[in-house]
Amino acid sequence: MNRLLPLALVVLVLVGAAAPGAPTAQTSGPPASAPARSTDGVVAATLDNGLRVLLLEDHRSPVASFQVWYRVGSRNERRGATGIAHLLEHMMFRGTPRYGPRMFARLVEENGGRDNAFTSQDVTSYFTNIAADRLDLVIELEADRMMNALLDPKVIDAEREVVIEERRTRTEDDPGGALGEEVSALAFRAHPYGQPIIGWMVDLTRITAEEIREFYRTYYVPNNALVVAVGDFDAAATLAKIRAAFGRLPRRPAPPAVTAVEPLQNGERRVVVTRPAQLPIVYIGYPVPNQESADAPALEVLSVVLSGGRSSRLYRNLVEKQLALEAGGDYSYFSLDPNLFWFWATPLPGQTPEAMEAALLAEMERLRNEPVTDEELARARNQIEASFVFQEDSVHRRASLLARFELLGGYALKDAYLDRIRAVTAADLTQVARTYFPAERKNVGVLIPRR
C-alpha cells in the first residue's frame, strides 16, 4: 500500500504541491490512428513514435491533471553512477532553449496551477494540476522538455550541490533514512533496488554532465514515456493536441532492459549502525514477489492487518502496550520487480532494540501459526477498498492510478484490483506468512544511538 516508505522509495522535487506517485514496464496499445475508449471511459492511444496516451474525462470540476511518466528510475542506473535519475529530474526544471531556467514552474504558477515531480526505483514522473482551460500550455511545456532540456554543465554542478545537501538531510543526518539505506543494500546483492534513489554520495560528487546527457538521450524518449490526463476536457480534442505537440518528437532506440534477478537468500543478514540519534530503530525486511504473483493480494492485505492504522496489530501490540513509539510495515504492491516486505519499530525510552526485534518477530510467528480473525480480515479489506475508492475523488489520483496500472501491464488491471483483494482469505494470509517470512530470509537492521 506504500503508506510509509522507510527507504525513501520516492524522492520528490518540490516545485509546487506534493502528491503521491510510482512504477514501470513497457506496454502496447492500439495504433495511433485508432484510439480506443474503454467501458470506464478511458481513451487510450499509442502514437506513431511510441508515446502511450491515456485520457479520462472528469467534468465534476473545471480542473485537470496532466502527467508524464518515464519508465526509468534508480533501477536503471549502473553501479558507479547512482543518483542520475533523480539529478536529471532536478535538471528538467532548469530550462530549455524556448523556456528559460525555472520558467516551467513560473508559467504554471502564473496560470494558477501547481506542478511537481518524483523519482522512484522504477519511474520518474512529472505532473501538473491546473485549470482545464490552461491545459494547452502544459502540453506544450512537457513536450518541449521531453526533448530539449538544456543540461548546462554549470547548472548541473549547482543542482548537484542541492542534491548532495538533500542527501545529507534525508539520509546521512536522518537515522531512519540511514538505517533503511543500509538494510536495502544488505538485502539486494545483485538487483539495483539495493542502490539508493538519491544516489551514493561518492557517485553524486563524480557524475559528469555527459553521463547525465547520455541518460537523458537514452530514457527521455517518447517510446519510453506515458502521458496521462484526467479532467474537464474533451478527450478527442485533447488527444489531437497531444498528437500535435508530442507526435513530432522522434522515436529513439528502446532503452536497455533491466535483466538483473536477485538470487534466493539462503541465510539471515544483519547490519548494526551506530550514529547520533535519540532512540534505537529496528528494521526487518523479507524478500517478497511483486504484483505479478498470485500471492500479491494476500501480501497487500497482510500489510494492512499489521500496520493499517490504530486498529492494526503492530499499533495495538507494540505502541498501545508502550513498547514502541511507532511501528509499521509496508508491501510495495506497485513495485516493478520483486522487492521487500518491511517491518520497523522505534522502541520507547527504556526498551532495548533486542526486545523490539523480538517483539516484531513474535508478530511474524503469530501470523505463521494463528489465522487472522474474520474481523481483522474484513477491516483490512475494507480499508484497502475505501482508500482505493476515495482516490477517485481527485483528478490527480485518478490519473496516477491509471498510470500505475498501465505501467504494470495495462490500465485495465485497475478494474481487477479490488476483486483480487476481496478474494483474499485468512488461510491465504497464513500461507504467505509461512512462505515469505522464514527466519533464514530476514534482513535485520538495528540503529544504536550514539550521543
Q: How many CA atoms lie within 13 A of 375 on its CB side?
A: 3
Q: What is the largest CA-CA distance in the chain?
A: 67
Q: Nearest-CA neighbor of 89 among 111, 52, 120, 53?
A: 120
Tell me which DSSP letter residue 318 carries: I
3-state secondary structure of 75: helix
Active site residues: 89
Residues pairing with 285 in the sheet: 342, 443
| Dist CA 9 CA 30 (whole Å) | 32
Do residues 117 and 223 lie in contact, with contact meaning Cβ atoms separated by under 8 Å? no
3-state secondary structure of 388: helix
Q: Where are the beta strands (DSSP E) in 333-430?
A: 339-347
Tell me which DSSP letter residue 213 carries: H
| Dist CA 299 CA 1 (whole Å) | 10
| Dist CA 342 CA 312 (whole Å) | 15
Do residues 147 and 68 lie in contact, with contact meaning Cβ atoms separated by under 8 Å? no
Q: Which residues, at least 6 apart from 406, have a Cβ–Cβ distance to it below 8 Å? A: 27, 52, 54, 226, 228
Q: How many CA atoms lie within 13 A of 135 on its CB side?
A: 23
Helix (H) or strand (E) holding 242: helix 235-246
3-state secondary structure of 107: helix
Residues pairing with 443 in the sheet: 269, 285
Grid cell locating 62: 473545471
Do residues 407 and 23 lie in contact, with contact meaning Cβ atoms separated by under 8 Å? yes
Q: Say which residue the cell 508530442 belongs to.
A: 246
Q: Say which residue the cell 499499533 belongs to.
A: 315
Convert 333-371 to b/e letters by CB count within 10 Å (16 or more is b). Answer: bbbbbbbbbbbbbbbbeebebeebbebbbebbeebbeee
**Do you know the residue count of the chain?**
451
